[in-house]
Structure 1
Amino acid sequence: MKKYNFRNDILPLKNELYQLALRITLNDAEAEDVVQETMIKVWNRRDSWETIESIEAFCLTICRNLSLDKIRKTENQNLSLDNNADNSFPADNSYSSNPEEQTVQQDRLQLVRTLIGQLPEKQRSVMQLRDFEGKSYKEIAQILEISEDQVKVNLFRARQTIKKKFIETENYGL
């Protein structure tokens, strides 16, 4: 297939791998560990790189699997999303919004983060890869090792669940 170079093809993926690991593990230190373990595993499999169609999908799959292994071991699934997730959901700092509007918006974003954190693992992974990482259905299917139809179904269900719970909470409170 293609000849890959660790420095030029794989090392630049470390930020993307970190974001994926962070969204799954919800912990900065664990995400860093996962990325390091991913790089080691990819390096150790360098003899089979020529047979890999997409090195990015290969790396993301390893990262995802290691992240899932981490959270299974530490049982961190009930934590909210990343403490520094403000990068994912930037606050509206425009001059037109007053402090009350900003507080309401921040509360809503925190609610969405919490709701995403409560999704089943597969739905959460699909939603994160599609809506936060901007991956295509085909790429997500390769990374998660499921069909494109399963990607679409999981994404639809995740969005519907978030929407339903958000509306319920907004209308009736916690």
Structure 2
Amino acid sequence: MKKISFRNDILPLKNLLYRLALRITLDPAEAEDVVQETMIKVWNRRDSWDTIDNIEAFCTTTCRNLSLDKTRRMGRQEASLDSVATDPEDHSSASNPEEQAMQRDRVALIRQLIDRLPKKQRCVMQLRDIEGKSYKDIATLLDISEEQVKVNIFRARQAIKQQFKKTENYGL
């Protein structure tokens, strides 16, 4: 087995863990706390790192569980990411201000639709579509079967697609 180093193997995961915690808690401060708690828990288990097959999966699972616990305790299931990850200085490939405004509105709408998904679908979508994890990795991280992962991703995408079309066709 590979010798695991906190600095080289675990610390670089902090951004991935933050994005996962933010997607679950929907609160930047809470997400930072969760990442810090995750790092502390992993550090405290340093004596058993040699027995862990996949340290990234271990860290992600720990982060996910802590995020879910914090969300349950705080009761913040209906918060929104509208004010969180929006970059007003993002000048994407849109050529004029009107197109840029429309693009920002679409992104905001999709974020709102993702925020409304059930927790499991939201988490699976985050791991697959945003973090780029494989179905197998997601199944391992969430302790569900690969088929359940595929079903949850399909349902999440369908729900977002239907709601997006409805909104685009009829407005808000």
In the alignment, structure 1 residue 110 sits paired with structure 2 residue 108 = yes
Q: TM-score, normalised by structure 1?
A: 0.90
Q: Which residue of 2 aligns with 1:150?
A: 148
In the alignment, structure 1 residue 51 sits paired with structure 2 residue 62 = no
- Superimposed CA distance per residue, residues 43-77 of structure 1 (whole angstroms, 9 cap, x where no aligned partner): 12222222211000000000011111111111222
Q: Aligned partners of 2:104, 2:40: CA distance in 1, in Å? A: 38
How much identity, in percent, do the aligned residues show?
71
Partner of 1:125, secondary structure, is helix
Q: Which residue of 1 aligns with 2:168?
A: 170
Q: How does 1:19-38 map to 2 (within 5 A)?
A: 19-38=19-38
Q: Aligned partners of 2:139, 2:41: CA distance in 1, in Å? A: 21
Partner of 1:85, secondary structure, is coil
- Structure 1 letter corresponding to 2:5: N
- CA positional deviation for 1:97: 2.6
Q: Aligned partners of 1:92, 1:171: CA distance in 2, in Å? A: 26
Q: Any conservation in 2 of the 1:25–1:70 contact (CA below 8 Å)?
A: yes
Q: Any conservation in 1 of the 2:82–2:112 contact (CA below 8 Å)?
A: no
Q: TM-score, normalised by structure 2?
A: 0.91
- Structure 1 letter corresponding to 2:63: C
- Structure 1 letter corresponding to 2:101: T
Q: Where in structure 1 are there 5+ consecutive unaligned residues? A: none
- CA positional deviation for 1:16: 1.4
- CA positional deviation for 1:98: 2.1
Q: Aligned partners of 2:58, 2:41: CA distance in 1, in Å? A: 11
Q: Aligned partners of 1:70, 1:97: CA distance in 2, in Å? A: 42
- CA positional deviation for 1:120: 0.3
Going from structure 1 to structure 2, the CA distance change for 1:82 and 1:146 (only over 3 Å counts) comes to farther
Partner of 1:86, secondary structure, is coil
- Superimposed CA distance per residue, residues 112-159 of structure 1 (whole angstroms, 9 cap, x where no aligned partner): 100000000000000001111111111111111111111111001000
The count of aligned residue pairs is: 172
Q: Aligned partners of 2:58, 2:92: CA distance in 1, in Å? A: 39
Q: Aligned partners of 2:82, 2:62: CA distance in 1, in Å? A: 21
Q: Where in structure 2 are there 5+ consecutive unaligned residues? A: none
Q: Any conservation in 1 of the 2:128–2:134 contact (CA below 8 Å)?
A: yes
